[in-house]
Amino acid sequence: MTLTAQEFAFISGLVRRDAAIVLETGKEYLVEARLLPLARQSGLPTVSEFVIKAQQRPEPETYRKIVDALTTNETSWFRDGEPFAALTHTVLPDLIPNRSNNRSLRIWSAACSSGQEPYTISMVLHEAMPAGWSYEILATDISTEMLGRAESGMFSQLEINRGLPATMLVRHFERNGANWRVAPSLQKPITFKRLNLAQPLPPMAQFDVVFLRNVLIYFDVETKRAVLQRVINLLKPDGWMFLGAAETTIGVDDRFERVSTGRSSAYRLKAGSSSAPVRAQEKG
């Protein structure tokens, strides 16, 4: 056992912040076992050295790998439930009247991980969009491994048990041996691409909705601001943004306003801010 109490506390803090997983003392062996492969990959002989390095040189990608290693199979579908209800009941009714020209929506899932988020968005839109409308989803992540998994559309039985309504399962998935595969009709509107949010992004058409959930927490305040600026550049002036349940733009970027949507909230650019349109009518 090489991990010190401080190193273990650092790791538990990291995992608690994102995945809301609690690693009590006593679970040090678990951290050792799960992080050893990562340490080896980094060319370090012990987990302790790996964690020290992670603390000294904070790198979002490393943090992501750490959290993934400790939370395998933890990703849920309608994660937190609410954002997807908000998409159906608040966001779509707001956007659809203003998109009747091209009758299509562009969505960005900006930290798509193993794919549950973009496929959930696709399921929701597939069912909620009016007839004759179309949608496209850009699903990006920094990890090529995750993108590969997401693009395959294959999920284990344990994964599809997690927060996916059974009616959605039978409607949008098919058994494939011991696993389940997402329906091609759900995959078709999704494009998977590798992107690093902490770096300048390639030029892209703007989006109607951006999902930026549980990724800002890995960055320091400056990088958070830079990432939000990149998102603002790619968000239509009347577009919407979703963050993770425990996240907020407050203190980071005051061009967003928070809108309560049932039990959660969504963000949009403030009316009157230089990037926002003058709204003719505000909904009550």
Partner 1 sequence: MRAMVIDDSRAMRLILKRIAGQLGFEVSEAANGREAIDQLAAMDTPPELALVDWNMPEMNGLEFVIAVRADPKYKQMTLMMVTTEGEQGQIVRALAAGAHEYVIKPFTPDAIVEKLALLGLVPNGAAA
Partner 2 sequence: MNVHPGPTEEDLQTIAEQVWASYLDPDGSSPLILLPPEKPSREVSASVSMTGAWRGHVVIWTSATASRHAAAALLGVELEDVTVEDVTDGLGELANIIGGNVKSLVIGPTALSLPHVLISGESGYPQVVEVCKLAGIWRDEPITISVLQSAERAGRAG
Q: Cβ closer to partner 2: 72 or 144? A: 72
Burial 264-284 (b: 16+ CB within 10 A, else e): bbbbbbeeeeeebeeeeeeee
> Using the rule CB under 8 A, which residue among 43, 97, 130, 177 binds partner 2?
177
Dihedral pair phi/psi, residue 23, rounded to 5°: -105, 100
| Distance of closest approach, residue 68 Cβ to partner 1, in angstroms | 17
Stretch that binds partner 1, among 76-84, 137-145, 212-220, 249-257 (CB under 8 A): 76-84
Amino acid letter, residue 128: A
**Of 41, 55, 134, 157, the one binding partner 2 by CB under 8 A:** 157
Among 33, 221, 246, 271, binds partner 2 (CB under 8 A): 33
203 binds partner 2 (CB under 8 A): no
User: 177 or 272: whose CB is closer to partner 2?
Assistant: 177
- For residues 116 to 155, the per-residue mask of contacts with partner 2, x marking binding by CB under 8 A and - elsewhere, is ----------------------------------------
Q: Helical H runs in the chain?
A: 5-19, 28-41, 47-56, 60-70, 82-86, 92-95, 116-128, 144-152, 157-160, 166-172, 184-187, 221-234
Residue of 23, 67, 32, 64 lying closest to 50 (CA atoms): 32
Q: Which of 22, 131, 178, 278 binds partner 2 (CB under 8 A)?
A: 178
Compute the distance between CA of residue 214 and CA of residue 17 in angstroms, rounded to an integer.
Answer: 9
| Residues near partner 2 (CB under 8 A) | 27, 29-30, 33-34, 72-73, 156-158, 175, 177-179
